[in-house]
Amino acid sequence: MFRALGLRIRSINNYKDTGFLFKDYYFFSRKISSREIEKFKINKNYVKITKSKLIWVYDLNNQLVNDKPFLSIRKAAETLNFNRKTIFEVLDSNEIYDNYKFYSSQLH
């Protein structure tokens, strides 16, 4: 299937079971219920818990960077050009690192 869509299996695995839209598709390892489908329609930020740790990065004005969480510490580090270890160390500490704050859950 992934070849027919012009996608690599690694890309699909990065987005599988996350609830994130990737190249106009959602990828799941199981059939999802109609209730879950409604969550996508109502709440565009709906994300299912995954193996990787979602990372919410906020600027100094508490604005979410990229308007969505990163899929992992690795993705956040790559995008922001930071060291993964540093992000891990400041995660959920309310410490500011290079004008950013890092959390493992969404701020309310």
What pLDDT, in 10s, does the model give residues 38-88?
Answer: 776 665 554 444 445 789 999 999 999 988 888 888 889 999 999 989 998
Decide: 19 and 48 in contact? Cβ < 8 Å: yes
CA dist., res. 15 & res. 54, Å (int): 12
Q: Please report which confidence band the pLDDT of residue 36 belongs to, taking 50, 70 and 90 as the band edges.
A: confident
For residue 52, the model assigns a pLDDT of 58
Tokens at residue 49, please? 């818990």
For residue 93, the model assigns a pLDDT of 92
The mean pLDDT of the chain is 80
Which residues lie below 8 Å from residue 36, measured CB to CB, with a gap of 6+?
Answer: none
